Chain A
Amino acid sequence: MEVIKTKNLTFQYRNNPKSILNDISLDIYEGDFILLCGPSGCGKTTLLKHLKHLIAPVGDLSGDIFFNGVNIKEVPERSLVSEIGFVFQNPENQIVCDKPFEEMAFGLENLGLPSNEIRRRVAEMASFFGIEKYFEKDIHTLSGGQKQLLNLASIMVMQPSVLLLDEPTSMLDPVATGEFFSILNKINKELGLTVIICEHQLEAIYPIVDKVCYMENGRVAAFDNPNNVAKKIIVSGSNMTYALPTPTRIFTELTRDYIAEMDPMSIPLNVRDGRICLKYYVEKNEIGPERLVKPGADLESLKRKDEDTALKAEGIYFRYKKASPDILKNISFRTYRSEIFSILGGNGVGKTTLLSILSGINKPYRGKVKSLMTDSRKKIAYLPQNPEIMFVKDSIREDLEFLAETNDLPVSIIEETVNKYDFFANVPEFFDSNPLDLSGGEKQKMAFLKLMLLDPEIILLDEPTKGLDAFSKKNLADILNTLTGKGISVVMVTHDLEFAARHSDRCALMFNGEIVSVDIPERFFSNNHFYTTATSKVTKRILENTITVDDVRELMYI
């Protein structure tokens, strides 16, 4: 029997003329592991919230949802609470308590479990997710990723039978993401939990799910096994192609001309299958050894001159409180004009803290940050990890106009900027919305638009690709490249290794408050084992120096 069944679900928010869900009918069976994907703003969050009836958004709804065969409106609250677990998109706002252990116990207390049972479950789950380290810390001192893990743990501890996850790994580092997905996989396979997960970052999750539900404009465009959906997406040539896992995309590149006739099951989704296909391709086409090595970058030509320095950090030390340990230790580096500098590293190593120092928000207690731009007006723009706090007014239009006004810019600049870049293509649609009504990805876009209007010389971005669909990411990269072409320096913190590999000029790895290595992406990623791109994993020992799909394409099609 279906655990969850939706029948012709149609939904519209009251203050939004657009219909957000259109005629959605899904059958979800017990033990299914389902990926919900689609472009930003297609209604994933909205759909997911309807499935956990208690938090369904307010608006005009038609159609029905059944939970274990019963209309969800008639299911008692207690079983909705204990049976369906929901993890929200924004990790900050769903926290109710002060301390991680209280937070984890919250649901269990409400369900009325005996206290020793609560303690046992909390202890088990905390050690499972590695939360012991900050079990009794104040929650507000945790990093974004740590909060997200805690949220997952506080849902898992309630042992639900259906798990709904809204971009649960958007702020986790790649290692933690991988671990998290393998935990999910284990929970699904061993305990038979039904899991529905929304994601933009499909790399790691796509190969392990049973079914993919691909949404577009509030409709289900495809609901099938991953291979069929992958083929459908590839054949349709939609923008979603960019989101598919790297092995699939490499395979698509290799079989471009005849993929339409291929059996969907032969499309590789994971690294192992991708390697097999690549090897087979190389052998079958008798590609000579000279075409297997991408020529290394010319390091000499990449050397930058001192006068091109944009930001210079010298021996920075920082701590939040006098009595607390150092978060940043002896950090020194430079960024140059026309360069995208990416900072990578695990959760809680201090990346956000470092950006806050570069932007001048926090002051180091030792060391200095120098900005060596010619224009003496300080022009550093900063995109915080949580972009909500960038909006001042009640509508996007007013907000943008206000920004122009406060910074003595002509209002026409808004239209110019929006029209100049593809990234902002659908932005005018939202001009009259309240910034706080936008979906996660849309907020991110608007916040970035605000930065662009300021015409900065240095841009600091904290996880800019979080919540963006693959196509928007590509457009974002285009903007960044245009900007660096104009001599602007971009520093970004990201967990998106593919994005960093593809678009940055240099990458830095942070560990425990220190920068442990800085290098060009090619060398940076081919030297790492875990902190490396999927392409590099697929091509290891077959091709050399290839870290992005583009690299592979270049090599294979000379």
Chain B
Amino acid sequence: MNENMRTKRWGQEAVETKGWWLAHKWLVLRRVSQLGILAAFLVGPWFGLWIVKGNLNYSLTLNTLPLADPFILLQSLVTGHVPEKLALIGVAIVAVFYLLVGGRVYCSWVCPVNPVTDAAGWLRDRLGIKGGAHVSRNARYWILALTLLLAGITGTLAWELVNPVSMLHRGLIFGLGSAWMVVLAVFAFDLFVMNRGWCGYLCPVGACYALIGKASPLRVTAVKREACNDCMDCFAICPEPLVIKAPLKDATKGVGPVILASECTNCGRCIDVCSKDVFSFGSRFNNAASMAGVARAASKRSTQVGSAS
């Protein structure tokens, strides 16, 4: 049985039917985005070509465009400090952007920790490591609340002392020091302790962005869900598999095909690995359950109501 699972890799079917590129398109684009953003930050200190100054907490692009991280600025506000104009403009731009494209686009397209945890997830699958700690997916929101509480109590940006996201990004640009140990710890945690543990359960940065993108128009949608052949590849590859289930499988309950859960990172891996091209990027507003599904759902509901009375 185990042997069987090892012979068939996730997404193999998609590679066979669609070809390598279409089965990896969004993954490659995502890596290009992550590396490109990092490179834009690095060509300054490395080659003296200053495209972007600063780091993901706050940056100034071409000496004109300010961008600021809402999570860190929120913590700073809680400590009682009101920032200067540039930071406020920067945070407004960032907030509006992620409001439109989906908050956790930050996680899958920008964050430097994502390749680390993706690698851990990939290796975990390769080595066949199963099980581990169980924590609620809501833990991140609790930790988000905790970081704000800590900022208020200590009067300092306490989470910044341990935040692997800013530590890694700042480290790559300004000097890593022992931050690599923190990154290694996250990698080992995801590999041995919890599948997709850091990004999927704990990280308060991702939680904050998930809240920002709660109503984002750009969503992944299971628009051709009738074609699903239950191969489970999307569930296996998705870092947040809970978000897929209802839109993909609950057409009969009148659930629309759009993945509305804000935990979805819009990474597009499900689009890649599906050999039937069930998924695609779309708008959250095209979310009508198919007529057949609605009809079925309505009849089901009426029978339920009938039986209850």
Query: Do A and B interact with each other, yes or no?
Result: no
Interface residues of B (CB under 8 A from A): none
